[in-house]
Amino acid sequence: MTQVYPYNYPLILNNVLFSQYGGKGTGSFPQAVLDAAYQMAEQQTTNYIGTFLLPTIVTGTFTNPLTITKRIATDYGYVSRILSVVVKTQKVSQASGCELLDSQGCAFIYKDTFGYLDVYKVQELCGCGVSNVPYQYEIAYEAGLPTGTANLPLMLAAMTQAAQIHLNEMFPGVVGVNEGAGDVGIQEFESFGYHERRTAHSLVKTAFGGSAVASRIANMIKTCVKLARRSLKVS
């Protein structure tokens, strides 16, 4: 499920870094347009990796795991610390109807890269109509790439190219153009007798798109960062 990205401004990219890593347009576009392209590139990178470029505090609500080990997977990987755990337990009564009562909980980080947490209820609730089985866990945690990772040359080069795609698409021809409209992945083309056909596996759809440049961006990021891809079943 897609999460709401909390930043409306760029965290890493700026005009100096963009130009240093081959970006074109700092002298042709207003700063607001450049910042928008930087922010969009960073948002795509966050979506592709599965965590934020910088440590960010996140709050999420998770259903009670139906396994012996109460292990949940957070929305973002690279979890560095747990700030709080609130256990929500069902209470059903004729007077109040359906309620969720809060009690204290705790969690251990089982695998930080993938955001696996083992959660526990540490305070029992008592009273008429109160279940001792947790219904939901509300967890505040910090997630994000380790310090300095987002500033690695491969990361900066990848985000620069992602930002360039957006600039070329918003104002095609001012400083460059994408391979096709919408930076679509093109497997085969011909021009003035020249014919080229790419291998099908070389174009893979990612958060950056399906073009050859988008595939290169994804490959650069995978070279320096392990993607926070959780398994289909957490147990």
Task: Using the 3D structure, point to which of 143, 173, 191 is the last residue of a domain.
Answer: 143
Q: What pLDDT was estimated at residue 187? A: 54
State the amino acid at position 69 in one-letter form.
T
Domain that holds residue 213: 15-53+147-224
Task: Based on the fold, state whether residues 37 and 151 are members of the same structural domain.
Answer: yes
Task: Based on the fold, state whether residues 60 and 31 are members of the same structural domain.
Answer: no
Task: Based on the fold, state whether residues 39 and 106 are members of the same structural domain.
Answer: no
pTM: 0.84
Task: Based on the fold, state whether residues 157 and 44 are members of the same structural domain.
Answer: yes
Q: Considering only CA atoms, which of 98, 103, 105, 115 is closest in space to residue 56?
A: 115
Task: Based on the fold, state whether residues 127 and 196 are members of the same structural domain.
Answer: no
Q: Are 6 and 136 in contact (CB under 8 A)?
A: no
- Answer whether residue 230 is part of any domain: no
Q: Considering only CA atoms, which of 141, 119, 125, 144 is closest in space to residue 46?
A: 144
| Interatomic CA distance for residues 181 and 228, integer angstroms | 31
| 3 state SS of 33 | helix
| Interatomic CA distance for residues 58 and 168, integer angstroms | 33
Give the burial string for 47-61 (b: 16+ CB within 10 Å, else e).
Answer: ebbbbbbebbebebe
- Answer whether residue 220 is part of any domain: yes
Q: How is the beta sheet containing 116-121 ordered, strand by strand?
A: 56-63, 130-143, 79-93, 97-111, 116-121, 71-73
Q: Is 193 exposed, middle or buried (0-12, 13-18, 19+ CB in 10 A)?
A: exposed
Can you give the C-alpha Rg of the chain in angstroms?
23
Helix axes 153-170, 31-49, angle to 10 degrees: 120
Task: Based on the fold, state whether residues 213 and 194 are members of the same structural domain.
Answer: yes
pLDDT per residue of the chain (235 residues) written in tens, 0 to 9 = 457 899 999 999 999 999 999 999 999 999 999 999 999 999 999 999 999 999 999 999 999 888 788 899 999 999 999 999 999 988 887 777 888 889 899 999 999 999 999 999 875 555 555 566 789 999 999 999 999 999 999 999 999 999 999 999 988 888 877 665 555 555 555 555 655 565 555 567 788 988 888 999 999 999 999 999 877 566 5
- Answer whether residue 64 is part of any domain: yes
Q: Are 12 and 42 in contact (CB under 8 A)?
A: yes
- Answer whether residue 231 is part of any domain: no
Q: Report how many domains make up the chain.
A: 2
Structure token pair of residue 3: 């999460």
Task: Based on the fold, state whether residues 48 and 154 are members of the same structural domain.
Answer: yes
State the amino acid at position 37 in one-letter form.
A
Give the burial string for 205-219 (b: 16+ CB within 10 Å, else e).
Answer: ebbbbbbbbbbebbe
In this structure, the number of other CB atoms found within 10 A of the CB of residue 232 comes to: 4
- Answer whether residue 9 is part of any domain: no
Task: Based on the fold, state whether residues 60 and 176 are members of the same structural domain.
Answer: no
- Answer whether residue 7 is part of any domain: no
Task: Based on the fold, state whether residues 197 and 218 are members of the same structural domain.
Answer: yes
Task: Based on the fold, state whether residues 47 and 64 are members of the same structural domain.
Answer: no
Task: Using the 3D structure, point to which of 117, 143, 169 is the last residue of a domain.
Answer: 143
Task: Using the 3D structure, point to which of 86, 108, 143 is the last residue of a domain.
Answer: 143
- Answer whether residue 170 is part of any domain: yes
In degrees rounded to 5, what are phi and psi of residue 38? Answer: -65, -45
Task: Based on the fold, state whether residues 166 and 132 are members of the same structural domain.
Answer: no
Task: Based on the fold, state whether residues 86 and 117 are members of the same structural domain.
Answer: yes
| Interatomic CA distance for residues 224 and 210, integer angstroms | 21
Q: What pLDDT was estimated at residue 93? A: 78
- Answer whether residue 34 is part of any domain: yes
